[in-house]
Amino acid sequence: MQRLFICTDLDRTLLPNGKQAESPEARTIFARLVSRPEVCLAYVSGRNLSLVQEVIEEYNLPSPDFVVGDVGSTIYHFNGDIWQHYQNWSREIAPDWQGLNSIDLQPLLADIVNISHLTLQESDRQNRFKLSYYLPLEVDNQALRTCMNLRLQKQNIAASLIYSVDEDKGIGLLDILPASATKFHAVEFLRCQLDFDYSNTVFAGDSGNDLPVLVSDVPSVLVANAHEDIIKVAQLQGNMNNLYLAKGDFLGMNGNYSAGILEGIAYYHPHTKQWME
Ligand SMILES: [Mg+2]
């Protein structure tokens, strides 16, 4: 049996929660495909586990074998009964923070946090390997991140500091993660742990935090609804031998969201088309 490892982002990749239309039958076909015994499925998301579970219900998505959550800082495995922390991943990323957790990191940054008027995000947005703050939009986030990084480096802590904006709330978001806790490293780690190689792995995504995977050696699909800026960057940086841009007109579908995922999987693995029909 030739196995297939399918890893996909959720928001605006598998989930049709963007502006573009979804082909009506696409998610049903996706569910049919991943129900095959050959397929191992991982959802790779910025969401935490409970928010992933919420959208699985809301959009009636197939239950995956793995969830890579919190932008790569957690991996969970479904053991048929409950979701369990994939401890091998925690062990893999823990050395970046010298064995410290996000609570241990707070006092190291306290004075910077005070001066810059940062506030801690809610407890359900924190975890052992994710320390998250709100910051006012007027704060120079580049300078702030440089300053925090220098402080952490002095303690030999390797962190990535990721800034984004919550447009709805008009506030900045700062996530401090172990340097290796990215979607890319998490996908590569799982792939190796599960004994898949590039010939039987496909990743799908749509936006900035998917780019490191999209432009890597992992065979990837950029769904057709991706923002044109992302498409341009991916084309510039990616290797077009292992980056497929969904364009639609596959099984009569438009290439957006799950239709794009299916189109890409069929491109790399033509035999799977018969599992979709
Ligand atoms: Mg997305």
- C-alpha 3 – ligand 1 centre gap (Å): 25
The distance from CA 35 to its chain's CA centroid, rounded to whole angstroms, is 22
CATH, range 97-178: 3.90.1070.10
182/184 Cα distance (integer angstroms): 5
61 sits in which H/E element: none
pLDDT at 60: 97
Return the CATH number of 4-73+181-276, one of 3.30.750.200, 3.40.50.1000, 3.30.70.890, 3.40.190.80: 3.40.50.1000
Q: How does pLDDT run across 149-165, given as a tens digit for each residue?
A: 999 999 999 999 988 88
- C-alpha 147 – ligand 1 centre gap (Å): 29
**pLDDT at 113 exceeding the cut of 90:** yes
Structure tokens belonging to residue 162 = 């990721």
- C-alpha 17 – ligand 1 centre gap (Å): 9
- C-alpha 46 – ligand 1 centre gap (Å): 8
In a 10 Å sphere around its CB, with 0-12 CB exposed, 13-18 middle and 19+ buried, how is residue 13 labelled? Answer: buried
Q: Near ion ligand 1, which residues have CB within 5 Å? A: 9, 11-13, 206-207
| Mean predicted confidence (pLDDT) in 229-253 | 94
Give CATH 3.90.1070.10 domain extents, the chain.
97-178
Contact 234, 250 (CB under 8 A): no
One-letter amino acid at 203 equals: F
- C-alpha 70 – ligand 1 centre gap (Å): 13
pLDDT band at 203 (very low <50, low <70, confident <90, very high): very high
- C-alpha 202 – ligand 1 centre gap (Å): 16
Structure tokens belonging to residue 27 = 């998610």
